Structures are given as structure tokens and as C-alpha cells.
Amino acid sequence: MEYDFLQIASWPEEVQEAYEQAEVPSPYEILLAYEKLASEVRRQNKELRSYGNALSELPDSIHDLLQDTLSTWTTSLPQSSHEEVFTSFADSLQNITTQATSTIETLQKTLPHSPLSAFLTHKTWETLAQSLLTSLQDALQLLLNKSHSILADQGIELIAPETGDSFTATLHRAIETRSGGEAGTIAELIRSGYRNNQLVIRPADVAVYKKSKEPT
């Protein structure tokens, strides 16, 4: 909207000054801004597709890993080889889930702030983003539960202590100590362990709360 001289002259001085200093973007500048936004949306879509592809391969990766491991386990291996087989399995499963978890964590940081929000209200887009992230986390947990269930059928039990559980030297391996909790209890599970009945294939790696120093 344009104003004539008489209208502008009737405005308070500070309003006149603000109007004179205001810069209205040209059609070219507006078009350029929309092209920049569209380019960023395309980049974001490409990134999201790559995340989606990585996560969609997760079920096959875990399934193949389980099949190979169980096939090796059920062959006539000497008992001494069992630890090596399932240590390899545990490491591979840990790597797969760590990559998936890292992808989900990245999405948690970036997805709610995606430029796609320019086409939706912030609240609507944030709700959709959080719903997607929750679905991904649930799917990952379902895969892990299924993997552990298959292992349980073979007599393999997961060693995964929770924060606050007592440290047990026969089941856990303390690889670091921390302050701020009850001494001798688990501060954090760093890597799950496995056991076959009473035979510990690999202890769980944990951080343990250390005893506080006595005041001098």
C-alpha cells in the first residue's frame, strides 16, 4: 500500500522516520528467497531419505547377523569357539544399533527445526516430527527385543544392568568410574554382555560410581 505526502505528514515523527527507512523487498529478492528456501528443503529431503534408507536396512542387517551367528553356533564347534562366535555377534549387533541410534539422535536435533516447517505451523510440524521419531525408536526397540528373544531360545541371555543396580564382578566389567552416586552401583551401561546359562560369554561393560573421598 502506498501513502500520499499529506497522509505521511500527519503521522508522528518517529513513524515517518521508520516508514522512510523501511525497505520493501523487490520481486526479485522475494523470488530469490523462495528459491533459497526450496533448495534447502530439497537438501533436507535428500538427507531425510538417506536416513530413511539406512533405517530401512536395519531389519535385514540384524536378521542376517542372527542367521549367520546361529548357523555357526549350531554347527559342531568346539566349546572354546563359542565365546568367540558370540563376542563377534555382540560387537556387530552393538555397531548396528549404535548407528541406528545415532541416526535417530541426529533426527531428534534437526527434524523439528527443518525448513519444511515454513510450510506448516511450528506446532503441527513439531508434532509430526516427534511422532516419526517415536515410531523409529519403537521400531528399533522391537528389533532388539526380537533379537534377544531369538537368542534366549538358544540359551543366550543378555547382561544389561540398569543404573543403580549393584556391580557384580562375575557379570560386569568396570571400565570407568564416576562420582555422584552410591558407591559400588552401576552408573551407566556402556556395552551389553551375554551369557550361556551360567557361562559368561562376555561381561557387560559399565561405568561404576566410586566411593566419595572423606573430607579432611
Higher pLDDT, 20 or 148: 148
From CA 138, how far away is CA 148, in angstroms rounded? Answer: 15
pLDDT at 173 exceeding the cut of 50: yes
Neighbours of 103 (CB within 10 A): 18
pLDDT, mean of residues 90-107: 70
Distance CA 164, CA 121 (A): 42
Beta strand 193-196 with 199-202 is antiparallel
Classify domain 24-154 by CATH architecture.
Answer: Up-down Bundle (1.20)
* pLDDT confidence band for 172 (50 / 70 / 90): very high
Sheet strands (E) in the chain: 156-159, 172-178, 186-191, 193-196, 199-202, 204-209
In DSSP notation, 112-157 reads: GG-GGGGGS-HHHHHHHHHHHHHHHHHHHHHHHHHHHHHHHHTTEE
Mean pLDDT of the residues in the chain: 72
Task: Return d(Cα 139, Cα 50) in angstroms, integer.
Answer: 17
pLDDT for 180 beyond 70: yes
Distance (Å, rounded) from C-alpha 195 to C-alpha 114?
44
Q: Judge whether 24-154 and 157-216 match in fold.
A: no
CA atoms within 13 A on the CB side of 67: 6
The DSSP bridge partners found for residue 194 are: 158, 202
Is domain 157-216 given the CATH code 2.30.22.10 in the classification? yes
C-alpha cell at position 110? 534437526
* Model pLDDT for residues 11-53, shown as the tens digit of each residue: 667 766 765 666 666 676 667 776 776 676 677 667 666 766 6
215 and 207 in contact (C-beta within 8 Å)? no
Which percentage of the chain shows pLDDT scores above 70? 46
* Residue 166 clears pLDDT 70, i.e. is over it: yes
Asked if the model's pLDDT at residue 178 lies above 60, the reply is: yes
Q: For residue range 113-143, list pLDDT tens digits in order.
A: 655 544 555 566 666 667 767 777 777 777 7
The per-residue pLDDT for range 181-212, each reduced to its tens digit, is 899 999 999 988 888 878 888 899 999 998 87
Overall average pLDDT of the 55-74 stretch: 67
Q: What is the pLDDT of residue 134?
A: 74
Where along the chain do its domains lie? 24-154, 157-216
C-alpha cell of residue 144: 532388539
Residue bearing cell 536416513: 51
Q: What's the mean pLDDT in 161-172?
A: 95
